[in-house]
Amino acid sequence: MASRTSLMLRGLSPYYCCCCFFNLSSRSSSSSSKLFFLGKNSNPTIRYCSTKATGGASSLPPPDVTHLAKTARISLAPNEVEEFAPKIQQVIDWFGQLQVVDLDSVEPAIRAESLHENAREDIPETFENREAIRTSVPSYDDPYIKVPKVLNKE
Amino acid sequence: MASTFFRTIQTHPFLLLHPTAVFRRKNGVLRCTMRSTQTQTPTQEKQQSPQIKFSPQNPNKTFYEIPKGYEAIIGIETHVQLSTLTKAFCGCPCNYGSQPNTSICPVCMGLPGALPVLNSKVIEFAVKLGLALNCKLSLNSKFDRKQYFYPDLPKGYQISQFDMPIATGGYIDLDLPVEFGGGHRRFGITRVHMEEDAGKLLHSENGDYSQEITSPTLQYVFCSFMLIFRGSMVDLNRAGVPLLEIVSEPDMRNGMEAAEYAAELQRLVRYLGVSNGNMQEGSLRCDVNVSIRPVEQEKFGTKVEIKNLNSFSAVNRAIDFEISRQVLLHSQGQGDQIVQETRLWEEGSQETFTMRKKEGLADYRYFPEPDLPEVILTKEYVNSIRNTLPELPEMKRRRYEKMDLSMQDVLYLANDINVADYFDATIARGADAKLVANWIMGDIAAYMKNEKLSINDVKLKPDELAKLIASIKSGTISGKIGKEILFELLAKGGTVKGLIDEKDLVQIVDPVEIGKMVDKVLSDNLKQLEQYRGGKTKLQGFFTGQVMKISKGKASPGLLNKILLEKLNAKN
């Protein structure tokens, strides 16, 4: 799923935020701002932000990485939790720079862009290659998708 | 053979998620709780037309009275599946009952790179419903992601509306059924918002309904299937279908009020044409929240959620049961045993059972849906929708009340918009309201029930019904004849005048002619005449019948009676 960067920080999963950062870096090539890139199983490559990441250190609470990983269904070993916590903190702090902006005289906006509503007509359109979707499902038991037994919602 | 398998299943832990079982054997019939993807055959009372009067399983059950000193607080969350042609965020068709996983595309399957695009009909229906529920419409609203993991949720989140729903702060008016004491109620509506449905999960712990498998062979096959396959199955045809969630204020005070609220919502969505509103099919789903408190207490008691309600009567009975359960615990000093949890209503045993205890509130990590723009409504748009609203059930009921119809009549006629339109069309042609109501609620309703038709399929059209009533009123034909030709008109259509001419049904109102017939009958039946004059006055009916016979039923009953009596008593 494509996404833009208007995210609330609390809900970030480590993998999720590195995706968005990857997008950012590819777009802002001209400013040559280097960003912190973190892949799930790769060696972290550190690129530095051009603006001070720790300036105006956020008053946002530190992330509970164990909880984050649990809600994102990503299993982390204890050492990974320790390793990722400061890195996530840095991501948060980078966004946290926005905290210094004075918003007292600004009307809250629902959305960042002012796109006009683009709704479509209620006309059916069958997707041509449904077969490809079905065959790409790892455990397809015609005509159902087979899934493991799940006890609890959420 | 089936029983062996049943016993085997009992020892298999995964199939018994909770003690009252996915499988229950009752009266030699295997019942399993599951969601089916094909067309369902519900075991509960099948409803052809909207229910106005739900009869509890035990018709002798009297209206449940809450024990003195206690008050029940009930709120209902209703999900209405919209009858749009396509899903909420993609062009996949919404087909009920099609082969599993055929109405899919990358968007509703949550495949990478796919983006949602809102279906404009969803907004239209949401505005319609919001207006009909007297809500305040938010000219600006947005979508949010409600994140959780479950096999029937492809994206890992549901696109919903969290803090800025499209409609808030409304109310719904309804009339309670006459047989429950009648009365008028107004229940508040907290909010209405748009969201998408999840797929269907087969063999989930949340059974939607019970399916009876009576054939022993099928029981064997089904049980063995379940043993071999230790998982669940997902059908995503339904994933992405648009829903409107209606949250009520906790204004209901007992099961009957709650059931009537649900019935009125069904009536409303059908009137508006936004949904089938069918609980059995799943296009109308209700979850209720029940708590009790001692009458003097201001603080609300602990709220318990009840799911798996598949009919209005189930709503009624489940709530009454839950109230009695909670009151019993509280009155025995065990009020702390009432915990915030979700319970399932079990139709077979007529009880609620714990599904799972809520470990704190679920953390859905709501945040604004980045892939969808703001939903902006203009005043002009809202007004244009307002102008297309039909006369709503409440307004119809008030209008019919003024027509000197009984409350029973009013509730019946206003229940189904098609019946109401038929009624309105007939009285528009000058027929008397009460007479029309009698015909519709009597013979026509009986015909519809027998033939399993809706009033739109009936061949007798409003203008012919009006003519029929006029013919009887003017004396052209007798009431009895009218009833006779009604059946033919209903089944085959045709005109009243045509049938009267064809079958020579015109009532005989000429006293001379009737007199001649009476004379003939009396002279043909001298013995009976003597008996009558001797005191056996009951024989008058015999003579009436004889005259009717020779007149082929056309003699005017009133006139016949008068002339017959005259002649019978004349020679005295």
pLDDT of the residue at A122:
95
Instruction: Inspect the interface and report whether the beta carbons of B117 and A144 lie closer than 8 Å.
Output: no
First-to-final CA distance of chain B: 83
Query: CA-to-CA distance for B29 and B11, rounded, in angstroms?
Result: 19
The yes-or-no verdict on residue B428 having pLDDT over 50 is yes
Instruction: Report which of B121, B111, B135, B126 is spatially closest to residue B161, judged by C-alpha positions.
Output: B126
Q: Sort out which chain B residues have CB atoms less than 8 A from A149's CB and list them.
A: 14, 230-232
Q: B273 in the Ramachandran plot: left (φ > 0), alpha (ψ -120 to 50) or beta?
A: left
Residue type, B471: S
Q: Sort out which chain A residues have CB atoms less than 8 A from B108's CB and list them.
A: none
Helical (H) or strand (E) element with B549: helix B540-550
Chain A nearest CA to B375, separation (Å): 6
Q: Which residue shows structure tokens 């993991």?
A: B149
Instruction: Inspect the interface and report whether the beta carbons of B373 and A111 lie closer than 8 Å.
Output: yes
Query: CA-to-CA distance for B63 and B181, rounded, in angstroms?
Result: 10
Q: Kindly state the DSSP code that residue B443 receives in the 8-state scheme.
A: I
The yes-or-no verdict on residue B7 having pLDDT over 60 is no
pLDDT of the residue at B539:
83
Q: Are B40 and B211 in contact (CB under 8 A)?
A: yes
Instruction: Report which of B202, B212, B226, B131 is spatially closest to residue B171, judged by C-alpha positions.
Output: B131
Q: From residue B173, how far is each of B75, B251, B394 by CA, in Å?
A: 16, 12, 6
Query: CA-to-CA distance for A96 and A37, rounded, in angstroms?
Result: 18
The yes-or-no verdict on residue B225 having pLDDT over 70 is no
Those of residues 344-403 in B touching chain A at CB distance below 8 A are: 356, 362-365, 367-368, 370-371, 373-376
Instruction: Report which of B537, B530, B542 is spatially closest to residue B571, judged by C-alpha positions.
Output: B530
CB pairs < 8 Å spanning A and B: 147
Q: Sort out which chain B residues have CB atoms less than 8 A from A144's CB and list them.
A: 37, 100-101, 202, 233-235
Residue type, B242: P
Those of residues 93-112 in A touching chain B at CB distance below 8 A are: 110-111
Instruction: Report which of B23, B38, B21 is spatially closest to residue B282, judged by C-alpha positions.
Output: B38
Q: Sort out which chain B residues have CB atoms less than 8 A from A10's CB and list them.
A: 365
The yes-or-no verdict on residue B60 having pLDDT over 60 is no
B446-B447-B449-B453 Cα dihedral, nearest 10 degrees: -150
B304-309 and B341-346: which strand pairing? parallel
pLDDT band at residue B217 using 50, 70 and 90 as cut-offs: low
The yes-or-no verdict on residue A9 having pLDDT over 70 is no
pTM: 0.75
Chain B nearest CA to A141, separation (Å): 8
Q: Which residue shows structure tokens 């932000």?
A: A49
The yes-or-no verdict on residue B291 having pLDDT over 90 is yes
The arithmetic mean of pLDDT across residues B263-270, rounded, is 97
pLDDT per residue over B302-323, tens digit each? 999 999 999 999 999 999 999 9
Average pLDDT along chain A: 69
The arithmetic mean of pLDDT across residues B169-175, rounded, is 96
Of residues A125, A145, A152, nearest to B233 (C-beta) = A145
Query: Looking at B41-55, B143-157, B412-426, B501-515, which range is the least confident one?
Result: B41-55
Q: Is B78 helix (H, G, I), strand (E, B) or coil?
A: strand
Q: Bigger pLDDT: A44 or A125?
A: A125
Q: Sort out which chain B residues have CB atoms less than 8 A from A2's CB and list them.
A: 113, 115, 371
The yes-or-no verdict on residue B22 having pLDDT over 80 is no
Average pLDDT along chain B: 83
Please give the backbone phi and psi of residue B52, each rounded to the nearest 5 degrees, phi first.
-105, -30
pLDDT per residue over B127-138, tens digit each? 999 999 999 999
Q: Sort out which chain B residues have CB atoms less than 8 A from A150's CB and list them.
A: 150-151, 232
pLDDT of the residue at B359:
57
ipTM of the complex: 0.70
pLDDT per residue over B453-511, tens digit each? 999 998 899 999 999 999 888 888 888 888 888 888 888 888 888 888 887 778 888 88
Q: How far is CA B261 from the centre of its chain?
A: 11
Chain A nearest CA to B140, separation (Å): 8
Count of C-beta atoms within a 10 Å radius of residue B564: 22
Please indicate if any CB of chain A lies within 8 Å of the CB of B140: yes
Chain A nearest CA to B287, separation (Å): 16
Instruction: Inspect the interface and report whether the beta carbons of A127 and B92 lie closer than 8 Å.
Output: yes
The arithmetic mean of pLDDT across residues B543-553, rounded, is 85
Q: Bigger pLDDT: B170 or A18?
A: B170
pLDDT band at residue A48 using 50, 70 and 90 as cut-offs: very low
Instruction: Inspect the interface and report whether the beta carbons of A3 and B374 lie closer than 8 Å.
Output: no
The yes-or-no verdict on residue A8 having pLDDT over 80 is no
Helical (H) or strand (E) element with B427: helix B417-428
> What percent of chain B has a predicted confidence (pLDDT) above 70?
83
First-to-final CA distance of chain A: 21
CB-based burial, B207-229: b 16+ in 10 Å, e otherwise: bbbbbebeeeeebbebbeebeee
Query: HSE (CB half, 13 Å, CA atoms) of A145?
Result: 22
The arithmetic mean of pLDDT across residues A80-106, rounded, is 91
> What percent of chain B has a predicted confidence (pLDDT) above 90?
56
pLDDT per residue over B104-129, tens digit each? 999 999 999 999 999 999 999 999 99
Helical (H) or strand (E) element with B320: helix B312-331
Count of C-beta atoms within a 10 Å radius of residue A11: 18
SS3 of B196-264: ECCCEEECCCCCCEEEEECCHHHHHHHHHHHHHCCEEEEEHHHCCCEEEEEEECCCECCHHHHHHHHHH
Instruction: Report which of B57, B133, B132 is spatially closest to residue B311, judged by C-alpha positions.
Output: B57
The yes-or-no verdict on residue B5 having pLDDT over 70 is no
Residue type, B474: S
Instruction: Inspect the interface and report whether the beta carbons of A145 and B234 lie closer than 8 Å.
Output: yes
Please indicate if any CB of chain B lies within 8 Å of the CB of A133: yes
Query: Looking at A149-153, B83-87, B279-283, B505-509, which range is the least confident one?
Result: A149-153
Query: CA-to-CA distance for B63 and A83, rounded, in angstroms?
Result: 64
- Rounded (5°) CA angle B567-B571-B572: 115
Q: Kindly state the DSSP code that residue B346 receives in the 8-state scheme.
A: E
The yes-or-no verdict on residue B186 having pLDDT over 90 is yes
Instruction: Inspect the interface and report whether the beta carbons of A124 and B91 lie closer than 8 Å.
Output: yes
Chain A nearest CA to B156, separation (Å): 10
Please indicate if any CB of chain A lies within 8 Å of the CB of B91: yes
Q: Is A28 helix (H, G, I), strand (E, B) or coil?
A: coil
The yes-or-no verdict on residue B32 having pLDDT over 60 is no
pLDDT of the residue at A86:
92
Chain B nearest CA to A116, separation (Å): 7
pLDDT band at residue B557 using 50, 70 and 90 as cut-offs: confident
Instruction: Report which of B337, B256, B262 is spatially closest to residue B304, judged by C-alpha positions.
Output: B337
CB-based burial, B250-264: b 16+ in 10 Å, e otherwise: bbbbbbbbbbbbbbb
